[in-house]
């Protein structure tokens, strides 16, 4: 190994963490807000899914 390989590894690790943090921040900002209509559609779909699961005899105890 070369004498500077530890420095390169440290630099790559730090840059990787920065890139990962940036990607997570971007995803959070991009997916943050839902409109009132989107929330309503999501809630209705969830209720419908639960109703279908409860109606299925295979899901009974």
Per-residue confidence (pLDDT) for residue 59, from 0 to 100 = 75
pLDDT tens digit string along 13-61? 999 999 999 999 999 998 888 889 999 999 999 999 999 988 888 877 6
Name the pTM for this structure. 0.49
Residue in the block written with tokens 């440290």: 10
Tokens of 44: 């209705």
DSSP the chain: --TTHHHHHHHHHHHHHHHHHHHHHHHHHHTS---HHHHHHHHHHHHHHHHHHHH-GGG--
Residue extents of the structural domains in the chain:
5-59
């Amino acid at each position: 190994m070369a004498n500077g390989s530890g420095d390169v590894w440290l630099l790559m690790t730090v840059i990787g963490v920065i890139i990962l943090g940036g990607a997570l921040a971007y995803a959070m900002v991009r997916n943050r807000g839902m409109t009132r209509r989107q929330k309503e559609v999501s809630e209705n779909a969830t209720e419908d899914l639960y109703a279908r699961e409860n109606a299925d005899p295979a899901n009974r105890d």
